[in-house]
Amino acid sequence: MARTEITTQHARDGHASPAHVTGLSIGEYLIRRLQDYGIGHVFGIPGDYILQFYSMLDASPIEVVTTTREDSAGFAADAYARVNGMGAVCVTYCVGGLSLCNSVAGAYAEKSPVVVITGSPGLKERNNNPLLHHRVRDFRTQYDVFEKLCIAGTELTDPHTAFQEIDRVLHAAARYKRPVYIEIPRDMVGVVPEMPHPFQSTHLVSDPDVLAEAVAEAERWLNTCQRPAIVGGVEIHRFGLADELLQLAEGSQIPITTTMLGKSIISETHPLFVGLYEGAMGNEQVTKFVEESDCLLLLGTFMTDINLGIYTANLDPGKCIYATSEQLRIRHHHFHNVLLADFIRELAARRPKPPKRPIPKIKNLSSEKFVLEPDEEIRVSRLIARLNESLDDETVVVADIGDSLFAATELVIRGRTEFLSPAYYTSMGFSVPAALGTQLARPDLRTVVIVGDGAFQMTGQELSSLIRHRFPTIVIVLDNGGYGTERFLHPGTFKFNDVQPWAYHKLPEVYGGGTGYEVWTEGQFDAALKSALADTSGPSLIQAHLKEGDHSHALARLTEKLSKRI
């Protein structure tokens, strides 16, 4: 990890605060600092322990976005953070907070900086240990739970330290790209600390000697290797390093692949882009290209099982440069106190000159023209191929877990199109609430959700919020009558893998807006998609009845690997 320098200058993230703050209440200061970090929306559901802060938010430039459930608010804030740089969710004590656990756990696992703000009983109300409503075991239960799910947390009980605590915790979210927790007893929200607060931002720097040595070693190796390649991961996106990555790749002509979680960090039509690297689960040519490399730069990559094809990935550490926000390793040498950004930037500046590796022609959805077969029953691979034709720079694709994700990995991401998915934590129910977060973070873009029927039944009611905001989101429900992935994982006709068949396409009518479509064939899907794309008045939901027994190739490959381990 890099050194922390305390400065009184503006931080790179969360800049623009005055050096001294006086006259603000704890709640007002928190709002000011959230704005410094670019937060314009806070997701959640009010309750009496957080009402004072909600009214403060209401009077501020930050918009409160209410959802149908707290876990959905968490998913929305997570997606907002992924697209915007930081997100926030604000809920009441325990009944609200504890409902957030799963979404916040996902944000932790996948490095998404979500600020969890929660109210709690006032300090003065706690005398004599009363049984106040929403209390679980003692007043700290919720705090203790979130301690396990967040990178930093604080309970704002002391006016003298409250502002510093807010600074510290928000800085941790920006530094580590993980969720943080801020609990405000309700009688502290309006308290104005007496002491002026000297604003201090913690600015991270690399150790220059270590950085120079690491970059020199990487440069030497790149200059003498034969088959270099880059595997770019999700941290490139989280730390905003896409331009730096491109500078390195283009300057040294190093081919790039990405992991599933890192999909969309660069345009998949870039001439140096090889494909998605997913170990033995992915395209054989890409796997071979990466694993044959004698100098593989893993940049901002998580070594997770799904990212690396259920550990079938055959990567020899002796042939890798592994750089993330947490560690830097070149072969078996470990370097400390080097920031990922500095490492990539400095290495790019040296312009190493490895031999130019011919890039294999990988067959993907853009290689062949999609020819519609209007009367054929719709299959997920054909649906994705058709959707692929309509993707452009103005689309954000959000894929839920199940075949939605596996099939969607085949989409060819263009320009700076975003692709979001909980590809590592793999919690069902992420996508529809996440669409709310992405639409609010980037109202100029259009979100397309791909979600299985099972996952939709979990949080699909957030469609109601999309309707409320009149976002032109397109939600494609892959209806295969149940938990298709589980059926493949563990073959047999188990009732527990079936879900109640819903008339999903009728939900827009029930929720009071948007348009529903029900399709069985390719021709019907094509017509529905065209109509949905042309309609920007509100959300569209396309219920696609998949051909029986249908599944993507990626799912078949994955389940084959997974089932061997179960």
Contacting residues toward ligand TPP, per CB under 6 A: 401-404, 426-429, 452-455, 478, 480, 483-486
In 250-294, beta strands by DSSP E: 256-258, 273-276
- By beta-carbon proximity to Mg ion, the closer residue of 244 and 453 is 453
Considering CB distances under 5 to 8 angstroms, the limit depending on partner class, which of ligand TPP, Mg ion, none binds residue 434? none
CB of 483 to Mg ion, least distance (A): 6
Considering CB distances under 5 to 8 angstroms, the limit depending on partner class, which of ligand TPP, Mg ion, none binds residue 427? ligand TPP
CB of 317 to ligand TPP, least distance (A): 30
Is the Cβ–Cβ distance between 70 and 428 less than 8 Å? no
Residue with the shortest CB distance to Mg ion: 452
Q: Where are the alpha helices (DSSP H) in 460-521?
A: 463-468, 484-489, 507-511
CB of 448 to ligand TPP, least distance (A): 16
CB of 147 to ligand TPP, least distance (A): 22
Considering CB distances under 5 to 8 angstroms, the limit depending on partner class, which of Mg ion, ligand TPP, none binds residue 25? none
Give the rounded distance of the alpha carbon of 395 from its chain centre.
16
CB of 90 to Mg ion, least distance (A): 33
Give the integer Cα–Cα distance in Å for 361 and 243.
Answer: 24
Give the integer Cα–Cα distance in Å for 498 and 201.
Answer: 53
Q: Phi and psi of 382, rounded to 5°?
A: -75, -35
Give the integer Cα–Cα distance in Å for 436 and 391.
Answer: 19
Is the Cβ–Cβ distance between 186 and 49 less than 8 Å? yes
Considering CB distances under 5 to 8 angstroms, the limit depending on partner class, which of ligand TPP, Mg ion, none binds residue 433? none
One-letter-per-residue 3-state SS of 214-229:
HHHHHHHHHHHCCCEE
CB of 453 to ligand TPP, least distance (A): 4
Residues 6+ apart with CB under 8 A from 459: 69, 71, 72, 75, 429, 430, 432, 433
Give the integer Cα–Cα distance in Å for 420 and 396.
Answer: 8
- By beta-carbon proximity to Mg ion, the closer residue of 440 and 451 is 451
CB of 480 to ligand TPP, least distance (A): 5
CB of 159 to ligand TPP, least distance (A): 40
User: Rounded to whole angstroms, what are the CA distances from 297 to 132, 239, 539?
Assistant: 55, 17, 41
Is the Cβ–Cβ distance between 157 and 185 less than 8 Å? yes
291 burial class (0-12, 13-18, 19+ CB within 10 angstroms)? Answer: middle
Of 78, 179, 132, 104, which Cα lies nearest the Cα of 432?
78
- The string of DSSP letters for 433-460 reads HHHHHHHHH-TTSEEEEEEEHHHHHHHG
Q: Which two tokens stand for residue 64?
A: 């409160």
Considering CB distances under 5 to 8 angstroms, the limit depending on partner class, which of ligand TPP, Mg ion, none binds residue 485? ligand TPP
CB of 547 to ligand TPP, least distance (A): 13
- By beta-carbon proximity to ligand TPP, the closer residue of 115 and 455 is 455
Give the integer Cα–Cα distance in Å for 176 and 180.
Answer: 10
Considering CB distances under 5 to 8 angstroms, the limit depending on partner class, which of Mg ion, ligand TPP, none binds residue 107? none
Q: Which stretches of the chain bind Mg ion, using CB under 5 A?
A: 452-454, 480, 484
- By beta-carbon proximity to Mg ion, the closer residue of 118 and 480 is 480
Give the integer Cα–Cα distance in Å for 142 and 462.
Answer: 25
Specify the DSSP class assigned to residue 325.
S
**62: amino acid identity, one letter:** I
- By beta-carbon proximity to ligand TPP, the closer residue of 205 and 562 is 562
CB of 532 to Mg ion, least distance (A): 21
- By beta-carbon proximity to Mg ion, the closer residue of 328 and 546 is 546
Task: For the chain, count helices (H), then strands (E).
Answer: 20, 23
- By beta-carbon proximity to ligand TPP, the closer residue of 49 and 75 is 75
- By beta-carbon proximity to ligand TPP, the closer residue of 53 and 483 is 483
Q: Which two tokens stand for residue 257?
A: 């692949």
- By beta-carbon proximity to Mg ion, the closer residue of 482 and 539 is 482
Residue identified by tokens 């623009």 is 16
Considering CB distances under 5 to 8 angstroms, the limit depending on partner class, which of Mg ion, ligand TPP, none binds residue 72? none
Considering CB distances under 5 to 8 angstroms, the limit depending on partner class, which of ligand TPP, Mg ion, none binds residue 80? none
- By beta-carbon proximity to ligand TPP, the closer residue of 372 and 489 is 489
CB of 413 to Mg ion, least distance (A): 24
Residue with the shortest CB distance to ligand TPP: 452
Give the integer Cα–Cα distance in Å for 117 and 149.
Answer: 14
Q: Phi and psi of 274, rounded to 5°?
A: -95, -45
- By beta-carbon proximity to ligand TPP, the closer residue of 235 and 453 is 453
